Each structure stands twice: as structure tokens, then as C-alpha cells.
Amino acid sequence: MEALALDVRLDTSADPVGVLVRDQRGGLAFAYSEAYVSQPGAISLSLSLPLTPEPFEEAVTRPFFDNLLQERDGALSDIMAREAIARDDIAGLLFHLGKDCAGALSVLPVGSPPTKVPGDYQKDYQPIEGDRLDAIVESLHKRRRLPAGTDDPSPLAGMQSKIALTVLPDGSLAEPVPSSGAPTTHILKVPDQDHIHDGSLEYEAMRLSQEIGFSTADVSLLPIAGVNVLLVTRFDRARDKDGRIVRIHQEDFAQALGLPSALKYERRGAPGRRFDVDAVRRILDATSDPAVERELFIQATLFDLFVGNVDAHAKNFALLHEPGGGISTSPRYDILPTRLDDTLTDELAYKIGDATTLDEIRKEDIDLFLKTVGIPSAAARQRLAKRYATEVANKLAGHLDRVGKGGQKPLADLIASNMRTLLGALDIEVPDPAKDRDAYIGRAGGWLLS
């Protein structure tokens, strides 16, 4: 194997911020450039790669850059087959795919010009005609290759069918002009044939998250080609002083912890190297306002338990790296009531105390959860457990009738059932709107009955 060096570029920096190196044995190392480290306002690429002129070895470098590759197999498989590259040759894959990494980063052959630049609505985007948009959605819905001439300009993490697009000021959908390097502004998520209701369910869960006060990515539900697709506004985009679209650097919690995407669930890791509440606490402690972020994480966890989102893994939480080094958690995204699908596990992405499912949670588990996340006082934990659970439950309960009457009765029943389970374990009174709703029963005939 030949040695290989690649420039690592950040959309906000004129010059490469560092270099990724593969040695002749396939080992990886990364180093920031000295000029970048000394630059005023420089930001680190990751909590796992703090700003320092010292190089990072394989154990730290590999997981971060592996996370830049998409989890879906399409593009990876094509490159691996065409170029005879093994899946563990991260640098070799990024040599071919690194210009299209998700987010503000790109990884390019040394000396290459930038491939990611700000986007101008007037010249950098082309509208997607209706017939072609239908063909794109149908391809994603049936998990087929995208129509000829369609390249996802920002390959996205996760297993759902999706494509990155741009919404123009007039509301029409568009894509970047080929080779323009312009950012997309939205993600179009298309449910496959076996999960036809996922778009509308995620829309409702995201809407609930926003309505009860969480900072949440904006969503809308669009009927395209006979499918309800979810249009999600990207939280890692902004407008500069000239009105151009620019990328904001972000990383998910797997990258921040130095974990490969394969370890995004607690159950797949080992103590000290896994996504668990102790690891989350370390991340929150590194943010600009740990106390606020801790409170938000506790409330978000309770919200997920109530709405049946047990898929809140390490790649469904993210950090925003702000100019000057500030770090904050991102708006919420990827909230899906996965407990409505009996083909999926009900095991939590991270344990609550010693509990691995909602039904196992007891008062002691919530207490241990709060202690682990960083609340040392037993009296404070007892007070906060009741306060947070009551507040989130009451806010959600106020929307149950709307959700149930709006065509999502199974979701409303599930939320009410989850409230009765969790609040009962905490000896907290269940809000009236949830007391008498039907019990959630499960799937039958491909859809949900109660």
C-alpha cells in the first residue's frame, strides 16, 4: 500500500486546516497545520481532536474520519468495487469521496482547490422540475438508484432514504449547479415501502418537540409522487453578510467521543468506549454552558421516552462549533416514535440508570441517570426528577387531543401509555388528557391499531 496525504479543509478557512496521512501499513494520523492552530478564532474539528500542533495517532484519527463517510452502502460500494478499496481504507475512500463529506468539512488530494464554497441563490442553484422530483422521490421510496444525472451533493448519515436539496426564496426545490460547491439548505427524507408512515410520524414528533419548547429543526410534510415526504431545514446553515448560504461546522456525538458509527448505541460498546450517559456528561461539560445543556439533555431524554423514540443514538445528537471556540448542542433532529414499529427493538439507545427499556425504568434508575449526567445532590435529583417529568408530561398532554384527532391516534395513545408507565414509576400523577386514552396495543395488518 502506498502512503497517501490528504488536505483537510473547513468551509470557513481559506487554507487547509490540517493533513490526513495514511502510511504504507494503512495506519492513519492527522495533524492541524501550525498556521491554522495559531490563527485567531480557529476552531477544533472535534472535541476528540482539540487544537494542538501535535499529531493525532490512529486510535483518535480513524473514528473521526470514518464518521465522515456515509452509513448507507451505495456510493461506498461503487468506489470500493471500482477502485478495489477495502472498507477499512478510510483515506483511500476519502480520496474519492471526501469532496462531498456531509457538513463543512472536505478531504481532498494535497494541493486541491476548495470544493465547498458559499452559495448564491441567483447563480448556484437550478430548480428541480416536477417530473424529475417525482422520479427522485420514487427512487428513494423504492430504494433504487437515483435518476441519471442526479448526485446527492451532500451524502447524509443514517439508514433512511434521503437527499440534500435547497429551497429557493420562492419556495421551490432546487439542487446546486454541478461542481459549484454550493451548500444545500434542506434534507428531503423519503419513507421506504415498508415504513410508509415514517414521514408523517417524524413530522408529528418533531412538531411536538418544537411546540413544547425545544429548539428543533423546522419540518414540513409534502405529498410528492404519492408519498408523504419530510422536508427538514438544516441547522448547520446560515447566511453571511452578503446573503450567501454558508455552512456551520458541526459534529455528532459519536465524532465528539472518538467513536466509530458502529458504536453509536451503548449496547455495542464497552465501558469507557461507548455512548452512554457518562460519555454524554463529558460532552456537555465541554460546552459553553454545561448547566443549561445538562437541563436540556435531561428534558430531551424524558421527551423521547414519552413519545417512544428509543433510537436516540450518538449520531442523532450534535454539537455546533461557533467562531471563537464556543460549543453548543444543536437543535433537535431525527426524532421518530420507533416504538410504533414492532419490528424494531424497544431497547434504549443509552441506558437510563440500569434500565434498558422504558418498562424497566424505576425511580432509582432516574435518580442514577441524573447523578451520572452531573447532579450530585440527592435532594436536588429528587426535586428535579419530579419537576422535569411533570413539566414535559403536562406540555405533551396538552397536545394529545390534537394529535389523536389529526390522524395520529396510535401515536397519541402510545404517548399516553408511556406517560402512565414512566410517571407511575416516579409516583407522579398522570395528566388528565393521558389518563383515559386507549392503551397502545401494537401493529396489525401493517399498520397500528389501538
- Which residues does the annotation mark as catalytic? 311
Question: Residue 266 contacts by C-beta under 8 Å, 6 or more apart in sequence?
Answer: 274, 275, 276, 348, 349, 350, 351
- 7 membership: H or E segment, kind and range: strand 4-10
Task: Categorise residue 243: left if φ over 0, alpha if ψ from -120 to 50, beta otherwise.
Answer: left
Q: Are 387 and 395 in contact (CB under 8 A)?
A: no
**Among the listed residues 160, 166, 154, the one whose alpha carbon sits nearest the alpha carbon of residue 128:** 166
CB-based burial of residue 245 (10 Å sphere; 0-12 exposed, 13-18 middle, 19+ buried)? buried
> What does the CA dihedral 293, 295, 297, 302 come to, rounded to 10 degrees?
-170
Bridge partners of 233, per DSSP, are 186
Q: At a CB cut-off of 8 Å and minimum separation 6, what does 11 contact? A: 104, 105, 106, 114, 116, 117, 183, 246, 247, 249
Residues 6+ apart with CB under 8 A from 376: none
Which amino acid is located at 296 in the chain? L
AA letter at 186: H
Express the helix, strand and coil content of the chain in percent, nearest 5 each. 35, 20, 45
Coil, helix or strand at residue 324 = coil
Element (H, E) at 35: helix 34-37
Pairing of strands 161-167, 173-176: antiparallel
Q: How far apart are CA 95 and CA 380, in angstroms?
A: 51
Residues paired with 32 in a beta bridge = 18
